[in-house]
Amino acid sequence: MAVFPGGGEAKRKGASKQRRPNIVMVMTDDQTVESLRSMPIVEKRLARAGVSFPNNFASFPLCCPSRATMLTGQYPDNHGVRTKQSPSGGCATLLPTEGNTLPVWLQRAGYHTAHIGKYLNGCGSATADTHVPAGWSEWYGALDDPDAYIGGTYTMYGYTLYG
């Protein structure tokens, strides 16, 4: 997810003009600090250039519940996404509350938001309409093709983005 301030400067009543920060959020699945050893380009372009992520957290050891937590600020017991697919997980489970998520809040604060890549499993299914979740100014979601890989997960190479 990437967000950019729309209009440049935030204005608060009675305060001087302040620039809002640009925000770039990177979310990966199944990522460990140790896995950087097998990712020399990431190591070179991020870590050696001084970018580090000393505070990283996983709210749930599965992609969809963890992504839903990042989007809502709630744990799985509250947002309801507990697995990768319906009826207790995936994009369809988050759909009823998607109007109350981080990208919506950021848009309301005047930010331009963009999503690039995987969202939640089942969002953008090759067999269903390609729904764009609320709150995104730009959307380039990875197409969840159930035939692409075992279990309907996304392929690492040769994937399709829709938007």
Q: Where are the domains of the chain?
A: 2-10+56-162
Which amino acids are annotated catalytic?
63
pLDDT number for residue 94: 92
The tens digit of pLDDT for each residue in 101-120 reads 999 999 999 999 999 988 88
**Identity of the amino acid at 139:** W
pLDDT band of residue 151 (cuts 50, 70, 90) is: very low
pLDDT band of residue 38 (cuts 50, 70, 90) is: confident
116 near 140, Cβ under 8 Å?
Answer: yes
pLDDT above 60 (res 8): no
Sign of CA dihedral 84, 85, 91, 96: negative
159 or 120, higher pLDDT: 120
Helix (H) or strand (E) holding 64: helix 63-72
pLDDT number for residue 155: 64
Written as six digits, the tokens of 4 are 């950019």
